Amino acid sequence: MPASRPRAPARAPAKTRPARGRAARPAPSTVVDPIEAEVMARHLLATSEEMAATLMRTAFSPNIKERGDCSTAIFDRHGEITALAHRIPMHLGSMVGAVAEILQRHRLEDIRPGDMFMANDPYNGGGTHLPDINVVAPVFVEDRVVAFVANIAHHADVGGMVPGSEAAVCNSIYQEGVRIPPVRIMTAGRLNRDLLDMVLLNSRTPDERVGDLQAQFAANVVGTRGVEMLFSRYGVERTERTIASYMDFTERRFAAAIRKLPRGRFVAEDSIDGDREGELARIRLRLEVGDGTLDFDFSGTDRQIRSSRNIPARAVLATIYTVAQSLLDPGIPANAGFYRTIRFRAPEGTVVNPVAPAAIGCRSVSCAVLGDVVAAALTQALPDKALAGSGPHHLFIFSGTDPRTGAYFVDYETLAGGMGARARRDGMDAVRVHASGASNLPIEALEHVYPLRVERYALRNGSAGAGRYRGGMGVVRDYRILADDIVVSLSSERQHVAARGLEGGGEGARGLFVYNPGQPDERQLPSAAADVPLPRGSVLRICTPGGAGYGPAAERDPAALALDRREARLDAD
Amino acid sequence: MDTLLIGIDTGGTFTDLVLCDTASGRYTYHKLPTSTGEPARAVLDGIAEILQLAGLPPSRVGFLVLGTTLGTNAVLEGKCARTGMITTRGFGDVLELARQRRPHTFNLDIAKPAPPASRERRIEVGGRIAHDGSEVEPLDEAQVRAAVKSLREQGAEAIAICMMHSYANPAHERRAAEIARAAWRGAYLCASSDVLPEFREFERFATTAINASLMPVMDRYLETFERGVSDQGIPVPPRVMQSNGGAVTPLAVRRVPVNTFFSGPAGGVVGCTGLGNEIGVRNQITFDMGGTSTDVCLIRDGQPAKKDQREMAGYPVRTRTIDLHTIGAGGGSIAWVDGGGLLKVGPMSAGAYPGPAAYGRGGTLPTVTDANVLLGRLSPRSLLGGRMAMHPDLARAAIDTALVPRLGVDTVRAAAGILEIINVNMMGAVRVISIEQGVDARDFTLVAFGGAGPLHAADVALDMGITRVLVPPRPGLLSALGLLHADVRGDFSQTCLIAATAGSLQTANAALGQLRARGDAWLAGEAHARARAERTWAADLRYVGQNSELSLPLPSGRVSRPGLRALVEAFHARHREFYGYDMPGQTVELVNLRLTVSVNRKAPPAERRRFGRGSVRDAIVERRAVWFPDTGYVDTPVMARDRLPRDARFSGPAIIEQMDTTTVVPPGTRVHNDRLGYLHLALPRGRGSSGG
């Protein structure tokens, strides 16, 4: 992975030959019609949404179908993203460069209609951690590739040393599951059964994997159809030219938003947890606001660590894009044009640009801290939109045998924390923050499929950082264990370093994992652990961190404070 | 059956009434402003006035049905009753935890919605049911009593009782409701197992809490409405349109007011179903475009598509509704240029005031209507049969000021761009209900109504490759007319979550028995309708492990062993058809059972229409230059719709004007004004390639 964003290849200048398939228009034939550009962009976005709907409707694992842990995108033939359905912003990182990596390994002329490529290795054109498997298909019109469609789904288990293939305790990517470079899973429309069998053998839950992959193939078929329709309607050349201009429009729009910021350098830093309990790894950022560009320089960040909290470069990009978009121009179309305004530099071998075989499974929790660093830097340039530190979700994976069915299960879940306060409003309670975004699993669905009973699922009182505007509240959940051989893997951030307030606002509460709360054998569990045994009848409590506050608590609106008190939100939990 | 039928459609701005005298086949129409202060009053005034207009006595009214947006507006405007919730210990925050997502992925300024019951009015009580319906811990009745007392003291006006897994075993909820009723006589309360016995706690709790919050509001309204109707000497109880397209007694609405969301637009769809039966067009895409929003719906083989979840004010409401897809774009949508120099249309709207620039009421921002005026599609002189003057110079000025310099194109191109973009938005809406459901839109007729539907329908159809557009005689009043076609209809569902195998037959049949009992109890409340009831059964199935279900018909309210096998086979086939593959080895799960009880009514007689006596040429009132995407400006005849002769045929380009709308006929389109006064547009297989 290069340390800077790959630039798109230069394109031939646009020509003005009218395309076929549409009667001549009365309007003057300019180079590119901005109106037609908008029409095409909407068509592509609708197609990517259609793909996402298909994927979620037909997927098998609760993680995809209930929690929506999947994304879809459309690329131009050079591999630049032209449309992206908004599901999980983090997945953007898996999309950036995915096609380029395929084209590096496979000659374009060898790619046939009906081919589909599958990959998951972050160091080789896959996602940003191994459970995210992407499936990419070329779209052909008039016997040549005009675009690619892709989707990415978080599979609940792809092998490795821990169930769920994702735990902060992994020390190498080889412990995190099966690594797949971009390879053909479909050849000219035929499933490559041998390859599929090999992947399935590596998963603890192969049946789910088949169902989920089928859903991914189906989504690409739907996407291919939609893209073909657009190109045949307007003609290949005209469509390509127009889409390229649309990305230029998008770039200009975001550059215009950046130009409203004062130029200058803004520095921020924060820490993720290190290899052992209590150790920290520092993320340091120097942001330079230029003339319509943002330059993110992570020089000075700590070296990569053994634990899987390292953040692959593309996950860093996804986080930067997400936070920058949120604070500068939330409505910007999601395509590569916007990404061109952003530059990223990180020395190789650091926690924000690790090299193989660094473990990276838990990058989504670390990315929440990274998101706070990015927000802290941008906030200095954009005080009106300030965003205080947030409480990231906690990740836990139960596995064992369900006594009701005798079947082995892996339950991958995340529990949201609270968002940081803003310059003019409270942080949101109980939401996924920055680039993360998967839903929760309904308790009634969970109890049907796993031998667990949730006895409490609530906003965590007293977890919000105080301030003129308070942070968002974290969450507390108690699981009662209803089987004999259940183990859990735990991963988290902000159990040691609290979310920081702004302008005098208070810190958010730190998270914690507690075994058998209120019992004589109550004990706090580590912030990261693998295969913790949970005997039948025991309880695991998860308390997620709260968001930090903005401004001095003494300046809080008395009515808002009284309401929080009445509603017991400030009580000790 | 010589009675009078009255349909009342209360919209946000106007209330439309239609009265049909089934003896003479004569129709009377009336329109009055919707009063927000005392909504029932305006409706009652309207009824008295339309009877007076028609010169007919109230004693002859045999059917009166109301479409109301009261529930929707109460939720959107935050005017619901103060609501309390009694819930399982440990789960008091379900409404706020929601699905743990931000309301908008990127726009962090959009706050989470206010919950229908605030935190201090959500009280937890002991007791727990497990996923299989077994009791883990008995209900703590003393805590329930204390909760009711506390809520009453806090000034709650309604109570939602929401407990975990109550769809599997409602015993705790029922007992809690009994206790609450005993402790608080006449309380407004509902239990989640009665409102929606389906799994997924957040969706069920939210639906139930919103339902409870509407009960007092709706009750007060219906109280006045019912009494007023009866005081006027109307001998039958009124009925209210539900979101599922069926009309029910006020009693049923009082119990589940959440069923009246989308009651208004549902009338339009039912109207389309009715007219489809009248003229034999059973596959339609309804296209109801108004000033600020547009509703589209798919009608397949005479049946409107249904949907089971909608969002209201940020909360999911799970109730059977006609599957209307609404987008916030219409004639009043404002066009603007974004930071990157791209033209955008909406979602902001100029509304009725100040309205489009061309209305001359002080609006200065360019809208879709302004583009239509500039391009000659709307009359540059007046609308509403001459009642409202138009100002094309102001429309031009708005476009020239706000768009032309920033886009670097001329006025006409900018105006044309507005139409292109609004049409692509419309196309997106049509795609959602057709292509995204696996349906090829080209096999359907686009039925255009609402004030702006006929103005845009032909272009939308051309872009999608749809070749047939139908414009009913009174596009602006179709929703009110549709109410006259309403059947009596109730939908019931029950979650089972069992394998679709022979071993589950007993459980399935027991659940079907419960559904039948609920349906019968409901029907008894719908009074004299009892005898001709029709029951339709369905089952939602999925592969074990999947999340979304496919609904398949059940032949009856009992399943046999071979019947179950056939059902599973049908599921595999449907899955193949929808998603391109099936998994014959995978166990199939029976998720929900569904029952629809409906009592069909005789369709009202067709209205006798007015036709021109002369030729098509005699219907031409003027000629003007009108812009079309494929030709630019063309000299185009403008016709008065009520002067078109019966059974007339002609070709576009043409503009057809009438009081409540304007129909655009592009060049090359053939038009047939049929014997009943419907306009049938046959479009060339145009620009659209679509289908998908």
The span from the CA of A441 to the CA of A63, in Å, is 8
Of A86, A249, A439, the CB nearest to B105: A86
Closest alpha carbon to A426 in A572, A329, A254, A567: A567
- Which of B164, B497, B548 lies at the smallest CB-CB distance from A57? B548
Picking from A158-172, A224-238, A418-432, which range would have the lowest pLDDT averaged per residue?
A158-172
Q: pLDDT at residue B117 above 90?
A: yes
Q: What is the pLDDT of residue A2?
A: 39
Q: Name chain A contacts of B436, Cβ cutoff 8 Å.
A: 50, 53
Q: pLDDT above 90 covers what percent of chain A? A: 72
- Determine the average pLDDT of the residues in B138-153: 97
Confidence of residue B35 (pLDDT cuts 50, 70, 90): low
pLDDT at A232: 87
Mean pLDDT confidence for B249-263: 86
Higher pLDDT, A102 or B249: A102
Residue type at B245 in one-letter notation: G
Mean pLDDT of all residues in B58-62: 93
- What is the average pLDDT across A180-196? 95
pLDDT (0 to 100) of residue B619: 94
The full length of chain B comes to: 692
Mean pLDDT of A92-100: 84
Check B407 against A253: CB less than 8 A apart.
no
Of A229, A325, A387, the CB nearest to B692: A229
Query: Alpha-carbon torsion A418, A419, A422, A424, what sign?
Result: negative
Number of domains in chain A: 2
pLDDT band at A14 (very low <50, low <70, confident <90, very high): very low
pLDDT at B527: 59
Instruction: Assign A30 a pLDDT band (cuts: 50, 70, 90).
Output: very low
User: Average pLDDT for residues B598-609, to the nearest whole number?
Assistant: 80
Confidence of residue A105 (pLDDT cuts 50, 70, 90): very high
**Model confidence at B424, in pLDDT bands (50, 70, 90)?**
confident
Higher pLDDT, B657 or B687: B657
Lowest-confidence pick of A84-98, A396-410, A501-515, B128-142 = A84-98
User: Does the pLDDT of residue B150 top 90, yes or no?
Assistant: yes
B410 CA: distance to closest CA in chain A (Å): 9
Specify the DSSP element, H or E, that contains B665. strand B661-665
Mean pLDDT is lowest, of A234-243, A262-271, B457-466, B598-607, for: B598-607
| Distance from C-alpha of B148 to C-alpha of B687, rounded to nearest angstrom | 63
d(CA A519, CA B479): 63
Q: Indicate the residue among A253, A277, A292 that finishes a domain.
A: A253
Identify all chain B residues contacting A430, using CB atoms and an 8 Å cutoff: 93, 96-98, 100
Token pair 């639906």: residue: B207
**pLDDT band at residue B48 under the 50/70/90 scheme:** very high
* Residue range B469-488, pLDDT digits in tens: 999 998 988 888 889 888 87
pLDDT value of position B686: 53
**Inside any domain, residue A408:** yes
Q: Which of A299, A306, A322, A298 has the alpha carbon at shortest distance from A273? A: A306
Q: Is B692 on the interface with A (CB under 8 A)?
A: yes
pLDDT score for B318: 85
Report the pLDDT value the prediction gives residue B453, as an integer from 0 to 100: 94
Q: Which residues contact B54 (CB under 8 A, 6 or more apart)?
A: B4, B19, B21, B26, B28
Decide: B265 and B295 in contact? Cβ < 8 Å.
yes
Give the pair of three-digit tokens for residue A153: 């789904």
**Rounded to whole angstroms, how far apart are CA atoms B320 and B431?**
21
Q: How does strand B26-33 pair with strand B533-543?
A: unpaired
Q: What is the pLDDT of residue A19?
A: 34
Instruction: Name the residue facing B97 among A28, A43, A457 (closest C-beta).
Output: A457
Give contacts of B572 with chain A, Cβ < 8 Å: none
Cα separation of B309 and A260, whole Å?
42
Ranges assigned E (strand) in B249-361: 284-289, 294-300, 303-304, 306-307, 310-312, 315-317, 321-322, 325-327, 333-337, 343-349
A478 touches chain B (CB under 8 A): yes
**HEC profile for B187-248?**
CEEEEHHHHCCCCCHHHHHHHHHHHHHHHHHHHHHHHHHHHHHHHCCCCCCCEEECCCCEEE
Burial-class residue B483 by CB neighbours within 10 Å (0-12, 13-18, 19+): buried
B489, B494, B500, B506 alpha-carbon torsion, rounded to 10° = -100
Task: Choose among B581, B583, B689: nearest Cβ to A233.
Answer: B689
Is the Cβ–Cβ distance between B328 and B336 less than 8 Å? no
Contacts of B164 in chain A (CB under 8 A): 443-444
Residue B342: the pLDDT is 83
pLDDT at position B547 is: 62
Q: Which of B89, B91, B97, B583 to mutate to test the interface with A (most CBs of A within 10 A)?
A: B97
**Is the CB of A536 inside 8 Å of chain B's CB atoms?**
no
Output the pLDDT for position B352.
Answer: 65
Q: Is residue A199 part of a domain?
A: yes
- Evaluate whether A410 touches A157 at the Cβ level (below 8 Å): yes
Which residue in A has a C-alpha nearest to residue B634's C-alpha?
A26
Is A92's pLDDT higher than 60?
Answer: yes
Evaluate whether residue A110 is within a structural domain: yes
- Categorize the per-residue pLDDT at B566 as very low, low, confident or very high, splitting at 50, 70 and 90: very high
* SS3 letters across A360-429: CCCHHHHHHHHHHHHHHHHHHHCHHHCECCCCCCEEEEEEEEECCCCEEEEEEEEECECCCCECCCCCCC
Residues A272-290 have a mean pLDDT of: 95
Mark which of A253, A271, A288 sits at the end of a domain.
A253
Contact (CB, 8 A) for B162 and B200: no
Which of the pair, A539 or B256, is modelled with greater confidence? Answer: A539
CB-CB under 8 Å, A23 with B630: yes
Q: Is the pLDDT of residue A21 over 70?
A: no
Mean pLDDT of A452-470: 98
- pLDDT over 90 for what percent of chain B? 50
**pLDDT given at position B689:** 41
Which residues is B247 bridged to in the sheet? B241, B488
Q: What is the pLDDT of residues B203-244, one digit of tens each?
A: 999 999 999 999 999 999 999 999 999 999 999 889 999 888
Burial level of A413, CB count in 10 A (0-12/13-18/19+)?
Answer: buried
Of A141-155, B340-354, B382-396, give the range with the top mean pLDDT.
A141-155
Put simply, whether B594 touches A (Cβ < 8 Å) is no
- Chain A hits for B545, CB-CB cut-off 8 Å, are 60-61, 207-208, 211
Asked which of A77-86, A293-302, A354-363, B144-153 is least confident by mean pLDDT, the reply is: A77-86
Which B residues 148-167 touch A at CB under 8 Å?
164-165, 167
pLDDT value at A538 more than 50: yes
The answer to whether position A450 is within a domain reads yes
Say which residue, B396 or B525, is predicted with more confidence. B396
Q: Is the pLDDT of residue B178 over 80?
A: yes
- Helix ranges restricted to H, B295-439: 368-374, 392-402, 404-407, 411-433
Which conformational region is residue A341 in: left (phi greater than 0), alpha (psi within -120 to 50 degrees), or beta? alpha
Quick check: is A354 in a domain?
Answer: no
Q: Are residues A243 and A390 in the same domain?
A: no
Neighboring chain A residues of B412 at a CB cutoff of 8 Å: 26-27
Beta-carbon contacts of residue B67 (< 8 Å; ≥ 6 apart): B7, B8, B9, B10, B240, B241, B263, B264, B266, B267, B479, B480, B483
pLDDT at B6: 95
Is the residue at A375 inside a domain?
Answer: no
DSSP assignment of A451-493, as one string?
SEEEEEEEE-TT-SPPSSBPPPP-EEEEEEE-SSS-EEEEE-S
pLDDT of residue A280: 96
Interface test with A, best of B87, B99, B318, B403 (most A CBs within 10 A): B99
Mean pLDDT of A247-262: 95
Question: Percentage of residues in chain B with pLDDT exceeding 70?
Answer: 94
Q: Is A518 on the interface with B (CB under 8 A)?
A: no
A-chain residues near B415 (CB < 8 A) = none
> How many Å from the N-terminal Cα to the C-terminal Cα in chain A?
45
Question: Which of A253, A283, A310 corresponds to the end of one domain?
Answer: A253
Q: How far is B238 from chain A (nearest CA, A)?
A: 40
Q: What is the pLDDT of residue A22?
A: 34
Q: How far is A98 from chain B (nearest CA, A)?
A: 23
Structure-model confidence comparison of residues B386 and A523, the more confident one: A523
Q: Is residue A348 part of a domain?
A: no
The amino acid present at A527, given as its one-letter code, is: S
DSSP-derived letter for residue A350 is B
| B506 lies within 8 A of chain A by CB | no
Overall average pLDDT of the B265-294 stretch: 87
Put simply, whether A566 touches B (Cβ < 8 Å) is yes
pLDDT value, residue A18? 35
Checking if the pLDDT of A15 tops 70, the result is: no
Over chain B, what is the mean pLDDT? 88
Residue A32 — pLDDT band, cuts 50, 70, 90?
A: confident
Q: Are residue A248 and residue A391 in the same domain, yes or no?
A: no
Enclosing H/E stretch for A240:
helix A236-259
Query: What residue numbers bound the domain in which A192 lies?
Result: 34-253
Residue A81 domain-assigned (yes or no)? yes
The model's pTM: 0.83
pLDDT at B584 over 90: no
Between A335-339, B255-259, B336-340, B614-618, the lowest mean confidence (pLDDT) is in B336-340
Q: Does position B467 have pLDDT exceeding 90, yes or no?
A: yes
Q: Please check whether residue A21 touches B, CB under 8 A.
A: yes
